[in-house]
Amino acid sequence: MLEQQTLRLLKIISAPFLIVQPDGLIIWANRAMAQLLEREIDELVGKPLRTFTANDGQAVSKLLRLFSSSGNWLVGALKLCKTDLSVIDFPCEGCLFRPATRSEPALISIRFNQQLQFQALNQKIEELNTEIRRRMMVEAALRDSETRIRTLVDCSPLAIQVFAPDGTVIRVNKAWEKMWGTSLKSLRGLNVLKDNQLQAQGILTLLDRVFQGESLEFPLYEYDRSQLINVPHPNATLWVRAFGYPVITNDGRLQEVVLIQENVTDKVCLEREVEHYRHHLETLIEARTTELRRQQTFTEAVLNNISDGIVACDEQGMLSLFNRATIEMHGIDQETLPPEQWASRYRLLQPDGVTLMSINQVPLFRAFEGKPVKEQELVIERADGSKLSVLCSGQLMKDNNGRKLGAVISMHDITLQKHAQTQMLQAKQAAEAANRAKSVFLANVSHELRTPLNAILGFAQLLENDNRIPQDELRNVAIIERAGNHLLALIDDILEISRIEAGRSRLITDTFDLSATLQQLKETIGPLAKIKGLQFHAEFSPDLPHFVMGDEHHLRQVLVNLFDNAIKYTQLGEIHFTVKPKTEQTLYFEIADTGRGIADEQKRRIFEPFYQINGDATKGEGTGLGLSLTQKFISLMGGELNVESTLGQGSIFSFALPLRRADKLPAISPGKVIGLAANQPAPRILLAEDDLDNQQLVKQLLERIGCVVATACNGLEAVECFQSWRPELILMDISMPVMNGYRAIRAIRSLSGGEKLPILALTGSIRMEDRGPVIEGGCNGFIDKPVQADRLYEMMGRMLGLKFDYAETPRDASAMPGQAETSVTLSALPQEIRRQLADSAAILDLSAVQQIAEQLSTDYPDEAGIITRLLENFHFDTLLELCRTND
Ligand code: ADP
């Protein structure tokens, strides 16, 4: 136990002091302790320390264990409980108080140190200060952070809206104001949890969840801005993407709700637009695809059903398409082959059907190379060995950017056509040969008939003028002559028709003096009509052109034929001849008579060859070929012959012809010949010409150079003059009264000394191809009227072997009329060819002569031309003469 003295000492120390056993039982306490607990010392001793503390038993035991662990003073604290049950938190120190002997129990001294209490207080205050500083710093940091957050919120491009837990809006940022076009003020009274629009959008349910503490992303929704701020707003609808975040305090309370919104209207509109376009595009693509499919089906159907072959190659030049017809044509299928193998694989031959095509000849390859392929012929040798002729057309295929896509060709089978063509050609050749044979035959017959006829007519004419013939016999002679002339006309007409049918009758278009031609006709026809007691009226419009371009000879022939008929078939009344312009370049011709007319049913038939209205033939009036020839000539000249007629009253034959107005004819240049060369006897020339003006003109031309001239006004006079005067040369007009030139020539030829006499025919504009009958009639050449001096002298010179004196300045030779005739010679031809020609001409072998002319056309074009011209008129005799002359 403690020494008494120690205890007394302890009693008086002012610090409250306790001694307890290790189990906490108080065994001693001083006054200060009793006062601290506001009790008496006795109330404390013998009681457990825990009785006077507000600490739980465990805490007290723990403290006692701490103090009993060391002999040094250790600091602790107890919550002392006063009698009024108030509690003082009091710091204390305790240490183990070891007994002097082991048998004594250990005790624990506990002193409650006031100083300790202040120290603790100070420490507390210090801690408080530290805490206050820390809190102030935290607050400052919080303020900073809040400012930063506010700035961030304000600067955020996203609209941020903060709601109180009841759903009312507390704050909005600038982006929000911009997005909704309004401010916080306008939202007063609005509660997001009651928003009908959000309700309708189904957003409200989600928002409720946020207000219950869940963070959520909202599905895209559409918001009518005008509803939000109760003001109608243009472009009121907004598309919004939103996130909701609850702000929860540490103690789990909902402080506020943050709603972050993004205006995605533009994006949505764009997306919708894109969607719209996508949809539109899809529709288009679908329509296009359907159309393409339809086209493809159509193309396939066409390709496989057309009879033409279609072949294509791709951009690499590899075969890419054979339609059904192509496969059938080749007899083998399509293979993907390069161009160099096409010809050999598919046996593409040249049109000769033998030679294999080179790559550059193959139509598809040519098309692929961009060359034009139009109806190129080739032959396909089929797999079975048979051959097809085809025509190929094709082209290169390019896209819109000009990029090569390949090529395509079509093949049209012309095998049958070619076969038919060959047959036609053979038939044509046969027909032509037959036609030629007919022409040769006709020429031959006409020649054979003409010769005796000439004699018959010539002698008949002589008999007619022979005084010794009794009058009653003369009638028989007249019959002979009339029948002979009829036969001659018939032969001429048949020849003309055969010429037209053989396509040999051609127009010779040149400038001619229309007024002179019409005047001449008027003067010729007028007297003939008068002889028959008919009146003749010619009415020429003053608007007629003087000179025209046309075929004068044919026109004259047509008009003469129609006049001939008009006079023939009119017994009483008149013949009216009208010519007037129809259009700018067309002239109208009309011959009207008051004759017997033509019945309707015969109007068409009269144009048929050999058709004559009953009885005409028997009367020997014409051949029945006149109108047929006339109609053909008119149509050859570009017109159409029409007839209007009333039986018993008369007929009108009319036609219109294109006759273009022309400039004046070139003036006849004075000849270069000025006279006969010296030491030549003056040639005696008989000039038979009924036109006295013309007669005078030619006579003067002849006399001027020293010829002796006798004249006759008709054929009969000419025959007589020939007999009495024996001229060296006769110039014979063809159309003359009493006896025409043909007949006169024929008569002279039949007289002794007349056979070889040079006779030149004077003709009004006779065409090359009509020289035949003139020459066949017995004349040696012809001179066109109006007579040109050059031509006259040149022909005379040739016939009589004359030499002339010429003027000093010769004119341009090329301008001399008749130049062509001076060079009519075949001397340039090799002798052998001339001999062949002569042989063929002698037997009138037209085709043989034609063949020779064709062979000569390259090396001897002039000579070939001469031969062809002679042939066209069956002038075998002239040809024969030319061949022999040059021998
Ligand atoms: P032809 O040589 O017989 O005159 P055409 O061919 O010239 O032959 O005429 C055929 C027929 O048309 C004549 O036979 C004649 O009956 C009839 N014909 C032609 N012209 C006339 C006309 N002007 N008036 C009456 N009949 C005509």
Which tens digits make up the pLDDT trace of 301-360? 988 899 999 999 999 999 999 999 999 999 988 888 889 999 999 999 999 999 999 999
**Do the strands 254-263 and 237-248 form a parallel or antiparallel pair, or are they unpaired?**
antiparallel
Tokens of 297: 């089906």
What's the gap in Å between 714 CA and the centre of ligand 1? 28
Backbone angles phi, psi at 252, to 5 degrees: 85, 10
631 lines ligand 1 (CB under 6 A): no
682: confidence class by pLDDT, cuts 50, 70, 90: confident
What's the gap in Å between 522 CA and the centre of ligand 1? 21
What number is the average pLDDT over the span 828-845? 81
**Secondary structure of the chain: what % helix, strand, coil (to 5)?**
45, 20, 30
Percent of the residues in the chain that have a pLDDT greater than 90, as a whole number: 31
Residue 160 parent element (H or E)? strand 159-163
CB-hemisphere CA count at 13 Å for 18? Answer: 32
What's the gap in Å between 650 CA and the centre of ligand 1? 12
Residue 50: DSSP 8-state: G
492 lines ligand 1 (CB under 6 A): no
595 lines ligand 1 (CB under 6 A): yes
Asked whether 623 and 493 are in contact (CB, 8 A), the reply is: yes
622 lines ligand 1 (CB under 6 A): yes
Atom of ligand 1 nearest to the CA of 617: 3
233: confidence class by pLDDT, cuts 50, 70, 90: low
613 lines ligand 1 (CB under 6 A): yes
504: confidence class by pLDDT, cuts 50, 70, 90: low
Q: Whose CA is nearest to atom 19 of ligand 1?
A: 565
What number is the average pLDDT over the span 855-861? 83
Residue 802: DSSP 8-state: -
Alpha carbon 724 to its chain's center = 82
Q: Is the pLDDT of residue 223 over 90?
A: no
Out of 485, 569, 604, mutate this one to test ligand 1's pocket (max ligand atoms within 8 Å of CB): namely: 569
Atom of ligand 1 nearest to the CA of 565: 20
Asked whether 732 and 759 are in contact (CB, 8 A), the reply is: yes
616 lines ligand 1 (CB under 6 A): yes
Asked whether 323 and 299 are in contact (CB, 8 A), the reply is: no
What pLDDT, on a 0 to 100 scale, did the predictor assign at position 813?
A: 32
Q: Using omega within 30 degrees of 0 as the cis cutoff, is the peptide bond preceding 22 cis?
A: no
Atom of ligand 1 nearest to the CA of 595: 24
Counting beta carbons within 10 angstroms of the beta carbon of residue 555, is it exposed (0 to 12), middle (13 to 18) or buried (19 or more)?
buried
What number is the average pLDDT over the span 430-441? 77
What number is the average pLDDT over the span 209-233? 81
What pLDDT, on a 0 to 100 scale, did the predictor assign at position 881?
A: 75
Out of 612, 619, 651, mutate this one to test ligand 1's pocket (max ligand atoms within 8 Å of CB): namely: 612
d(CA 474, CA 441) in angstroms, rounded, equals 35
Q: Is the pLDDT of residue 618 over 60?
A: no
Closest by Cα among 789, 782, 819 to 674: 789
Atom of ligand 1 nearest to the CA of 625: 6
What pLDDT, on a 0 to 100 scale, did the predictor assign at position 859?
A: 82
What's the gap in Å between 467 CA and the centre of ligand 1? 37
Q: Using omega within 30 degrees of 0 as the cis cutoff, is the peptide bond preceding 786 cis?
A: yes
599 lines ligand 1 (CB under 6 A): no
Of 485-489, 653-657, 745-749, where does mean pLDDT reach its minimum? 485-489
What's the gap in Å between 642 CA and the centre of ligand 1? 14
Alpha-carbon distances, residue 412 vs 309, 310, 356, 392 (angstroms): 7, 9, 19, 6
651 lines ligand 1 (CB under 6 A): yes
Q: Whose CA is nearest to atom 21 of ligand 1?
A: 565
What pLDDT, on a 0 to 100 scale, did the predictor assign at position 714?
A: 92
- pLDDT, tens digit (0-9, with 9 covering 90-100), for 362-398: 999 999 999 989 999 999 999 898 999 999 999 999 9
606 lines ligand 1 (CB under 6 A): yes
What pLDDT, on a 0 to 100 scale, did the predictor assign at position 753?
A: 84
Q: Is the pLDDT of residue 458 over 70?
A: no
Atom of ligand 1 nearest to the CA of 612: 14
Most confident of 12-26, 154-168, 647-661, 858-872: 647-661
624 lines ligand 1 (CB under 6 A): yes
What's the gap in Å between 530 CA and the centre of ligand 1? 20
Alpha-carbon distances, residue 886 vs 259, 823, 824, 838 (angstroms): 128, 13, 11, 11
What pLDDT, on a 0 to 100 scale, did the predictor assign at position 120?
A: 59
Q: 531: how many CB neighbours lie within 10 A of its CB?
A: 10
Q: Whose CA is nearest to atom 11 of ligand 1?
A: 612
Q: Whose CA is nearest to atom 2 of ligand 1?
A: 622
What's the gap in Å between 540 CA and the centre of ligand 1? 25
Q: Whose CA is nearest to atom 12 of ligand 1?
A: 606
Of 614-618, 689-693, 789-793, where does mean pLDDT reach its minimum? 614-618
What pLDDT, on a 0 to 100 scale, did the predictor assign at position 266?
A: 85
Q: 657: how many CB neighbours lie within 10 A of its CB?
A: 21
Q: What string of DSSP letters covers 299-357?
A: HHHHHHH-SSEEEEE-TTS-EEEE-HHHHHHHSS------HHHHHHHTTEE-TTSSSBP
What pLDDT, on a 0 to 100 scale, did the predictor assign at position 214?
A: 93
Asked whether 785 and 796 are in contact (CB, 8 A), the reply is: no
Q: Whose CA is nearest to atom 7 of ligand 1?
A: 626
What's the gap in Å between 607 CA and the centre of ligand 1? 9
Tokens of 393: 């057309």
What pLDDT, on a 0 to 100 scale, did the predictor assign at position 488?
A: 75
Q: 456: how many CB neighbours lie within 10 A of its CB?
A: 19
Atom of ligand 1 nearest to the CA of 611: 10
Helix (H, G, I), strand (E, B) or coil at 566: helix
Of 320-324, 527-531, 618-622, 670-674, where does mean pLDDT reach its minimum? 618-622
Atom of ligand 1 nearest to the CA of 591: 23
First to last CA, the chain: 195
- pLDDT, tens digit (0-9, with 9 covering 90-100), for 247-290: 998 888 999 999 998 888 888 888 888 888 888 889 999 999 99
What number is the average pLDDT over the span 31-58? 89
Of 23-27, 571-575, 663-667, where does mean pLDDT reach its minimum? 663-667
What's the gap in Å between 627 CA and the centre of ligand 1? 7
Of 251-255, 380-384, 461-465, 825-829, where does mean pLDDT reach its minimum? 461-465
Residue 624: DSSP 8-state: S
What pLDDT, on a 0 to 100 scale, did the predictor assign at position 287?
A: 92
Of 219-223, 781-785, 805-809, where does mean pLDDT reach its minimum? 805-809
Alpha-carbon distances, residue 151 vs 9, 154, 170 (angstroms): 72, 5, 16
Length of the chain (residues): 887
What's the gap in Å between 158 CA and the centre of ligand 1? 115
Closest by Cα among 738, 688, 718 to 527: 738
Q: Is the pLDDT of residue 464 over 90?
A: no
What pLDDT, on a 0 to 100 scale, did the predictor assign at position 794?
A: 81
Helix (H, G, I), strand (E, B) or coil at 14: coil
d(CA 347, CA 331) in angstroms, rounded, equals 11
What pLDDT, on a 0 to 100 scale, did the predictor assign at position 35?
A: 87
Percent of the residues in the chain that have a pLDDT greater than 70, as a whole number: 86
What's the gap in Å between 573 CA and the centre of ligand 1? 18
627 lines ligand 1 (CB under 6 A): yes
Tokens of 424: 């036609």
d(CA 319, CA 296) in angstroms, rounded, equals 19
593 lines ligand 1 (CB under 6 A): yes
